[in-house]
Amino acid sequence: MKKAWWKESVVYQIYPRSFCDSNGDGIGDLQGIISKLDYLKELGVDVVWLSPIYDSPNDDNGYDIRDYRAVMKEFGTMEDFDCLLEEMHRRGIRLVMDLVVNHTSDEHAWFVESRKSRENPYRDYYIWREPVDGKEPNNWGSCFSGSAWEFDEATQMYYLHLFSKKQPDLNWDNPKVRDSVFDMMNWWLDKGVDGFRMDVISLISKEPGLPDREPGINGYASFAVSANGPHVHEYLREMNRRTLAGRDTITVGECCGVTIQEAKSYASSDGSELNMVFQFEHMGLDDENGSKWSEKKVDLRELKKVLSDWQRELHEVAWNSLYFCNHDQPRSVSRFGNNSDAYRELSAKMLATCLHMMQGTPYVYQGEELGMTNVPFASIDDLRDLDSINAYHEYVENGIFSAEDMFRRICYKSRDNARTPMQWDDSKNAGFSTGEPWIMVNPNYVKINAAEQLRRPDSVFHYYQKLIRLRHEQEIIVYGDYELLLPESEEIYAYRRHLGNEMLLVVCNFTDHDTEMSVEELPAETPECLISNYGDPAFGKVLRLRPYEAVVWKF
C-alpha cells in the first residue's frame, strides 16, 4: 500500500466557540486555542481541524460564511490566526481549515449582489427558480426543518437553501463560482494551511431539473437527495487540479449520503479527488423512520457490518476516516458506550480502542479524549443549535411527538451535546471562561476535566495518548488489513489486522456484563498485550471479558 503521512496521523477537531475563551466574553477564541497547544502536543495528535473561524453572522455557528478571507471578530484577528498557524507548525502540528462552499451566508457580498436583480452579474452564483403554481419550485426540505426554498420579495423568485435560509446554496454549475472558490482556497494554501475538511461537499452538484423526491416524516424530501449529483466528481477533480495538485495537503470530504461505491471515487487512492471522506452510515443506525430524533440504541451487529464493509471495501483502493463523534453528533460515550459512573471511563476507552485500531485516519473530537458526556439540559431554552430548536417546534407543532417526548429525543441526539464548553478544570465554568459562557457548561465538569485526568495515569486522556502513540509506532495499525470475527455476536466486537507476519487481535466487550470468546485458530505463541483498559488481561484459549473490557493482542 502507498504510504502517506495523513494515513499515519491522528486528527483532533476543535470547535473554536467552545474550546477556550481568552478574554472572558464567554466565547472561545484563537488566543484561547493558542494557550492550549501544549495540551494537544501532549496528547500527541498530528493534525488539528478547526471548525469555521471565518467572518460570519453565526446563524449556524460559523457554517454560514460572510467573508472567506476574514476572521470572525469574536474569535480574534488575522494576526491571531497567523500566530496560531505558526505556533502549531512550531510544534509539528498541521492545520486543517473547514471549507464551507456548498453555501455561503446570505450576508456574503456575492449573495447581497445576487438578490439585487435578475440581471445582476452575481445572479447565477446561486440557485434561483420561479414559483410553481404560486409555491415552492419543488418538495425539497431544508436540513434544519421546513422547505429548502425561500421566496425573495425583491425579484419575486425563490432561492435554494439546503440548510438555513441564511445559507443560500452556491451554483457550482457556474464556472465563475468554481473560479472564485478555487482562488480563495489557493489564498489559504499560500498562507500555509495544510488542508481542508470540506463541509457537505457531496451536495454541491444538484440534479438537473431539481425534481420532486419521496417525502419524509415531516412532509419534505430530505436534503440528502442532492448527494452525489451528476457533476460532483468532475468538480472535485477540477478543484484538485487547480488547488491541491503539487501541494502536500490532507483533505477530507464530509459526504452525507455517500455509498461505498461513491467513496471509491471521492477518496480514490489515485489522488484525483480527496484523501478520504466522512461517511454517515454508522451515524444513521439509530435513526427511526428516516429521522435522527430517536432514542433507539445502535444494534452492535449492524454497527459491525457497516464499519467492516467500509474497512474491507476501501482496502487498497481508497482510505477511511474513523469517527464516533464530532460537532454534529451527541457524545460518543453516551451514545455507543455507558456514561454511568461505574462504566463511563471503561466504555470510553473501549470505544476508542475499537475505533483507533481500524484502518483509516482517526478523528478525536474535543473532550472525547476525556470521556465527556451528553448534557442534562433542563428545557429547550438551554439549547442554542438552530437544528434542535427548529426541529423541536416543527415536530411538536405538527403533532409528530409531544413536547415532552421530543425534548427527551433532543436531549439524546442534539448537536449541542457536543458543543458545551471544553472541561479544563474544576474551577468556575470548567476553566473555559471567566465570563458567562454562550451555552451552559455540563455540570459534571467538577469530576470530568482535563486537569484531573492529566494528573491520573489511568485516565481516559492517557489512554488516548497511548492509542495515538501506538499508531505512530506500529505500522500494522496503519497499513494492516482487516478481518471481522464473530459477526453474529451481540456483545463482542472483535477483529484481526494482518501485515507481513504480524497479526493484531482486537477484542471489545460492548456490554455491562461478563462475556467470553474462544480463540482457537490462533498461533500457539503467547501474544504481547499492546493496550488494555483493565490493565491485567489474561490470554488463553477462552478470553474472558469483563464489562466494557477492551484488549489488543499482538502476535
Cα dihedral 72→280→341→296 (10° resolution)? 120
> Is 23 near Ca ion (CB under 5 A)?
yes
**b/e code 416-434 from CB counts within 10 Å (16+ = b):** bbbbbbbbbbeeebbbbbe
Taking the complex as a whole, how short is the minimal distance between the CB of residue 100 and ligand GLC, in angstroms?
5
Whose CB is nearest to Ca ion? 29
**Does position 221 bind ligand GLC by CB under 6 A?**
no
Q: Which residues contact 400 (CB under 8 A, 6 or more apart)?
A: 217, 218, 394, 406
Q: State the nearest-atom distance from the C-beta of 75 to ligand GLC, in Å.
A: 16
Q: Does 199 bind ligand GLC (CB under 6 A)?
A: yes
Q: Which does 63 bind (CB under 5 to 8 A by kind): Ca ion, ligand GLC, none?
A: ligand GLC
Catalytic member of 254, 273, 345, 369: 254
Is 254 one of the annotated active-site residues of the chain? yes
Q: What is the DSSP string of 360-386?
A: SEEEEETTGGGT-------SGGG---H
Cβ neighbors of 226 (< 8 A, separation 6 or more) are 140, 162, 203, 205, 206, 207
Enclosing H/E stretch for 463: helix 460-473
Among 21, 169, 369, 416, interactor with Ca ion by CB under 5 A:
21
The reply to whether 110 sits near ligand GLC by the rule CB under 6 A is no
Which of 199, 286, 345, 387 does the annotation list as catalytic? 199
Q: What is the DSSP letter of 52?
A: P
Q: If you ran DSSP here, which 8-state letter would residue 440 be given? A: P
328 binds ligand GLC (CB under 6 A): yes
Asked if residue 140 lies in contact with residue 206, where contact means CB atoms within 8 angstroms, the answer is no
Q: Which does 199 bind (CB under 5 to 8 A by kind): Ca ion, ligand GLC, none?
A: ligand GLC
Cα 190 from chain centre: 26
Q: In whole angstroms, what is the distance from residue 357 CA to residue 474 CA? A: 10
64 near Ca ion (CB under 5 A): no
Q: Closest CB to ligand GLC belongs to which residue?
A: 63
Q: How many Å apart are CA 513 and CA 3, to the nearest integer? A: 40
Q: Which is nearer to Ca ion, 196 or 424 (CB)?
A: 424
**C-alpha grid cell for residue 44?**
500527541
Residue 362 and residue 12 in contact, taking contact as beta carbons nearer than 8 Å: no
Residue 84 interacting with ligand GLC (CB under 6 A): no
Asked if 29 interacts with Ca ion (CB under 5 A), we say yes
Sign of CA dihedral 237, 142, 63, 433: negative
Binder of residue 465, out of Ca ion, ligand GLC, none (CB less than 5 to 8 A by kind):
none
Joined together, the cell numbers standing for residue 497 give: 489486522
CB-based contact 137:122 (threshold 8 Å): no
Number of H-type helices and E-type strands within the chain: 15, 20
Residue from 4, 8, 25, 213 binding Ca ion (CB under 5 A): 25
3-state secondary structure of 106: coil
CB 11 within 8 A of CB 195: no
| Closest CB to ligand GLC among residues 63, 172 | 63
d(CA 377, CA 366): 20
Using CB distances below 5 to 8 A depending on partner kind, what does residue 194 bind out of Ca ion, ligand GLC, none?
A: none
Residue 100 contact among ligand GLC, Ca ion, none, beta carbon within 5 to 8 Å by kind: ligand GLC
Q: Which three cell numbers stand for residue 68?
A: 472567506
Q: Which is nearer to ligand GLC, 60 or 262 (CB)?
A: 60
Residue 378: CB minimum distance to Ca ion, A:
25
Q: Binds 468, which of Ca ion, ligand GLC, none (CB < 5 to 8 A, cut-off by type)?
A: none
Compute how many residues bind ligand GLC; rule: CB under 6 A: 9
Window 87-106: contact mask with ligand GLC (x via CB under 6 A): -------------x------
Residues 140, 163, 323, 336: which binds ligand GLC (CB under 6 A)? 163
CB of 80 to Ca ion, least distance (A): 11
Give residues 18-37 in contact with ligand GLC (rule: CB under 6 A). Answer: none
Indicate if 199 belongs to the active site. Answer: yes
CA-to-CA distance for 18 and 14, rounded, in angstroms? 8
- Work out how close the CB of 124 gets to ligand GLC at its nearest, in angstroms, rounded to a whole number: 22
Choosing from 63, 196, 223, 445, the residue that interacts with ligand GLC (CB under 6 A) is 63
The residues assigned a catalytic role are 199, 254
Which residues of the chain form contacts with Ca ion (CB under 5 A)? Answer: 21, 23, 25, 27, 29
**Residue numbers of the site for ligand GLC (CB under 6 A)?**
60, 63, 100, 163, 199-200, 254, 327-328
